[in-house]
Structure 1
Amino acid sequence: MQWPICFGDLVDVGDLNNSVGVVTLWTKKEFILRHLKPEQYALVGQLYSRHEGFNALLRNCLANKNIRHILVVGVDLNKAGDALISFFECGVDENHSVKGVNDVIIDKEIPLTSLDNLRKHVKVYDYRSLKDFSKLSSIVNELENLGSYGEPEIFPITKQAIPDTYPSEKSGFVVRENYIGEAWLHILHNIMKFGFIKKSQYSDDQRELLNIVSVIEKEDPDNPKFYEFFKFTKEDLFNYYPQIISGDSIKGIEYSYGQRLRSEKDVDQIQIIIDILKKTLYTRRAIAVTWNLEKDISSEKPPCLILVHFLVQNKLLYMTAFFRSNDMFHAWPLNAFGLRKLQFTVAKEMDILPGSLTIISNSAHIYKQNWTATQDIIIQYNPKLKMLGDQRGNLIIRLVDGKIIITHTGPEGKVLDSFTGKDAYYLYTELIKKKKVSELSHAIYLGTELQKAVIALEKGIPYVQDQQLQFI
């Protein structure tokens, strides 16, 4: 048997008959190894994960029962050290959950009897507070070499389960696209991947994200870019517009957003906003609300759209809308088109061009009855990766006189700034600190180009941005 059985390429192996293992957590194992000799340990390795890495450590220990002492040192960024120490001190319950810590589960394939036996014969030592690693050698030398406590045990690897939802930012997901259809695909994908599953007030579970911020740049509501995956026709869309832009009552509808914005209590908030903006172009008070405190605080059907806010900047009319609750499968696309139509209507009255539309959907959700249909759309019309086009400008990378030079130009090509260095890490951290990148695809692209530039610099070969390196 080859040992270690897990992550053998990531750990440092010493004397397989030694009884000491050293876990360095998030501290680089090289900082520890410089103070120890190979004959002083069986294995030295880092431990990043409270799940995969933690289980791998236990499997390695059970596969080599010469290990009787585990020293835990280093920086414990994600509390993997807490999990390890709690396992040895408190054990596990019948569900394989480590006692004393939250959300740490040991693989079900490892029997509880084997785990109890491991805890009985192996001792863990908490040296996370140790700063002077040179003391480790004398600490290790004082440990008794106890010998093996049994035959190696190897268990089947756990099959990877697909989680119901993936870790995420929890709140604040920005989707920026030119057109509503493109944005909708990304919104659906985000909710199905990261949405928290919870109950709703309509007897149906929901996947929910908090505060999806969608920015629409170019959509023309009078000549919409239409996609076959929309759940409505162009006729449906144009018939919907009055629900947003008109204050008239609509047959079959209890009330519309347009009524709340344009005729509630005989007040046309939108016209007032137009008049205010015409008089004071720089005002920050051009806000219209749909919420009626007297009616809505206890209503069973309060409005989902709460407010719209208009601002003029650089001779463009920008609009922001806030939804307290937004059905992102059925309602959001129509809402977005309707709000864009409202923005265009106000802009036309003011004789000004529209800027982007921003929609903040506080509770952005998809009901369970629509999950399958949503997933089908995502699979069939996979959201496209936005390739570059960063609105903060372009970054041009060159090699000059043995250094990497990054020139920052604006979208129109004007030079704004420059950075010089030889180290990719230094350069990309400078770009991050100076807020030079906004697009994820642009950031990843720059990382690959900077690494190419570093390799070219080290090898003494030419570097040309966007071209493969030519090794001679």
Structure 2
Amino acid sequence: MPLDWPLYFRDNLTYGDREHPAAICCLWMKQSRLADTLSPATYSVLGNLYSKDGINYLLRNVLARPTVRAIIVCGPDLTQSGAALLHLVNDGIGEQHRVRGDPSASSGQAEYTQIEIEIPREAIDDFRANVQMIDLRGINDPAKVQEKLKELGETVPRGLFAEPRVFPRHTPAADEFPAEETGFVVRGARIVEVWVHLLAAVLAFGRRDLTAYTVQQRELLDVVATIHDEEATDFDLPAWLPLTREQLDAYYPQLLTATRPENIAYTYGERLFDFNGRDQIAAMVQDLRATRYSRRAVAALWDPARDPGSADPPCLNLLQARVRDGKLHLTAYFRSHDIFRAWLTNAFGLRKLQAEIAERVGDSMLGDLAIISQSAHVYADSWDAARQITVEHARDYLKNPRLVRDPRGSFNIRVEGFQIRVDHYSPEGNLLATFNGANARALQREIAFFTSRVDHAIYLGMELAKAELALKNGWSYTQDQELSVEVWAAGSGSSTGQLGL
């Protein structure tokens, strides 16, 4: 029997008589609500169960010291972890070690209760056969819990119900992660940078699903990719890219001219420059010349007379150009977008088209290119190649968040007197606002709204925590530098060391 029991979350549990056969799982209730009232002699251990994954640790702890013969499940079941625990005991596990009867699994949701494969089925069955569950979910009254404990103390046997067992630790190897249902955003300076991040996002967060072509894909919905700093005359095409300059040059006429090769039903360029005899790009240019702030510079590529029911309708459906502050921005909407095979050529071609429109409108610099992909997907036969690119090159595009422009501005953090001061600057360097506070938590709540990048927000959280430590301990704080701590050693005066924070 392990001497250092419990094996997991030892410091997060409340202990009574460790030999007692009854334990308490109080779900989302504060442990202190029960621990401050219950007699420690009437239970062995008291703990929370915030997530369904926590059932694995509960199993491991009980099976490592199998003296627990009854568990009271009480308190609010906010994540249905209590329901899943009861389903485990009542219904067992099915294929792939998933709990039977879990309502989230049976309703077709992606969530399910996974019991780690390292915990053998026979051990789980031992737990189910020997550990009684008392369902007091929703009950927060310590008196009712104490009443049930008294009853269990008189009826539940003591001692081991099996030999102690310790199982190998589980190493998670998930290749699909939860994410937003819609509205995934990727921003970057250059097209290749954004593409690599898009591939990584689809492979990590994309939902596995079948397509109309009966092949597997990973898919994100309503992805917005924004490129803000690449000239159309100087495209970055690294040697490892699955696209050559010759292939790109061959693609441009399909988008930038009305020419349609033989045996091709249509091209994007034909529908943009000669859609039933109308040059939509010329109309967009004319509209923006007449009214710089117009919101009517739109080109539609979907033909309602031909495309519904067509075997090969256009994936690019709409373009809109806007001029703001002397910059021409272009937005493109794709109903369906193969991120691995098509997105790159589409993006380079659209950037060329954007530059052409800006030149024809006049007095307009190249602004952002925003590509909206309603279905952003990578087909199964491209997964390995896409994954290799992200593994080998994604890190090349990870930058110090301090050095990456956040379009919502930057922040200067310093300690002044008895407060932390945060100055918010625009990207142009103009002071916008000042925030003052004595702790990091209050300040992060104020400034979080003014950040757009996750890495920037994480960076600011780290710096605010350092500033708070310095303020509370009287240390010197300088943004982007390690905390310098003055340590007094007996007989040798003071010395200065770095905390590495």
Please confirm whether the aligned pair reaches a TM-score higher than 0.5, indicating the same fold.
yes
Q: Higher mean Cα deviation, 40-49 or 448-457?
A: 40-49
Mapping 1:32-431, distance limit 5 Å: 32-36=34-38, 38-51=40-53, 53-93=54-94, 96-101=97-102, 102=105, 103-133=112-142, 136-137=145-146, 139-144=148-153, 146=156, 147-157=158-168, 159-160=170-171, 162-251=173-262, 253-351=264-362, 352-383=364-395, 384-388=397-401, 389-431=405-447
Q: Higher mean Cα deviation, 372-381 or 351-360?
A: 372-381
Q: Higher mean Cα deviation, 129-138 or 459-468?
A: 129-138
Cα RMSD (Å): 2.3
Contact 2:196 2:394 in 1 (8 A): yes
Q: CA deviation at 1:265?
A: 0.7
Q: CA deviation at 1:123?
A: 2.6
Q: Residues of 2 paired with 1:94 and 1:439: CA distance?
A: 40
When normalised by structure 2's length, the TM-score is: 0.87
Q: CA 1:261–1:104 in structure 2 vs 1: closer, same or farther (change >3 Å)?
A: same
Helix, strand or coil for the counterpart of 1:382?
Answer: helix
Q: Residues of 2 paired with 1:405 and 1:218: CA distance?
A: 32
Contact 1:385 1:441 in 2 (8 A): no
Q: Higher mean Cα deviation, 89-98 or 160-169?
A: 89-98
Q: Residues of 2 paired with 1:97 and 1:225: CA distance?
A: 47
Q: Residues of 2 paired with 1:406 and 1:258: CA distance?
A: 50
Q: CA deviation at 1:315?
A: 2.3
Contact 2:226 2:369 in 1 (8 A): yes
Helix, strand or coil for the counterpart of 2:385?
Answer: helix
Q: Residues of 1 paired with 2:48 and 2:477: CA distance?
A: 36
Which consecutive unaligned segments of at least 5 residues does structure 1 have?
none
Q: Higher mean Cα deviation, 335-344 or 32-41?
A: 32-41
Helix, strand or coil for the counterpart of 1:105?
Answer: coil
Q: CA deviation at 1:38?
A: 4.1
Helix, strand or coil for the counterpart of 1:143?
Answer: helix
Helix, strand or coil for the counterpart of 2:455?
Answer: helix
Q: Higher mean Cα deviation, 4-13 or 178-187?
A: 4-13
Instruction: Return the letter of the residue paired with 1:364.
Output: A
Q: CA deviation at 1:344?
A: 1.0
Q: Residues of 2 paired with 1:44 and 1:267: CA distance?
A: 74
Q: Higher mean Cα deviation, 91-100 or 223-232?
A: 91-100
Instruction: Return the letter of the residue paired with 2:400.
Output: M
Q: Note if 1:454 corresponds to 2:474.
A: no
Q: Residues of 1 paired with 2:38 and 2:447: CA distance?
A: 39
Q: CA deviation at 1:138?
A: 5.4
Instruction: Return the letter of the residue paired with 2:200.
Output: H
Q: Residues of 1 paired with 2:64 and 2:151: CA distance?
A: 25
Contact 1:107 1:158 in 2 (8 A): no
Contact 1:35 1:136 in 2 (8 A): no
Contact 2:323 2:329 in 1 (8 A): yes
Residue in structure 2 matched with residue 442 of structure 1 by the alignment: 456
Q: Taking every aligned residue pair, what percent have the same amino acid on both sides? A: 38
1:129-161: CA deviations, max 9, x gaps?
A: 234557655553453153125233315336435
When normalised by structure 1's length, the TM-score is: 0.92
Instruction: Return the letter of the residue paired with 1:369.
Output: D
Q: CA 1:142–1:399 in structure 2 vs 1: closer, same or farther (change >3 Å)?
A: farther
1:351-396: CA deviations, max 9, x gaps?
A: 1222100001111111222222212211221242243221111122
Contact 2:206 2:219 in 1 (8 A): yes
Q: Residues of 1 paired with 2:127 and 2:243: CA distance?
A: 61
Q: Residues of 2 paired with 1:85 and 1:243: CA distance?
A: 60
Q: Residues of 1 paired with 2:114 and 2:377: CA distance?
A: 30
Q: Residues of 1 paired with 2:121 and 2:483: CA distance?
A: 54
Matched residue pairs, number?
Answer: 469
Contact 1:27 1:46 in 2 (8 A): yes
Which consecutive unaligned segments of at least 5 residues does structure 2 have?
106-111, 487-501
Q: Residues of 2 paired with 1:94 and 1:253: CA distance?
A: 49
Q: Higher mean Cα deviation, 106-115 or 264-273?
A: 106-115
Q: Residues of 1 paired with 2:185 and 2:214: CA distance?
A: 29
Q: Higher mean Cα deviation, 455-464 or 102-111?
A: 102-111
Q: Give the alignment partner of residue 25 of structure 1, picking from 17, 24, 27.
A: 27
Q: CA 1:415–1:33 in structure 2 vs 1: closer, same or farther (change >3 Å)?
A: farther
Contact 2:118 2:170 in 1 (8 A): no
Contact 2:199 2:386 in 1 (8 A): yes
Q: CA deviation at 1:203?
A: 4.8
Q: Residues of 2 paired with 1:94 and 1:413: CA distance?
A: 59
Helix, strand or coil for the counterpart of 1:264?
Answer: coil
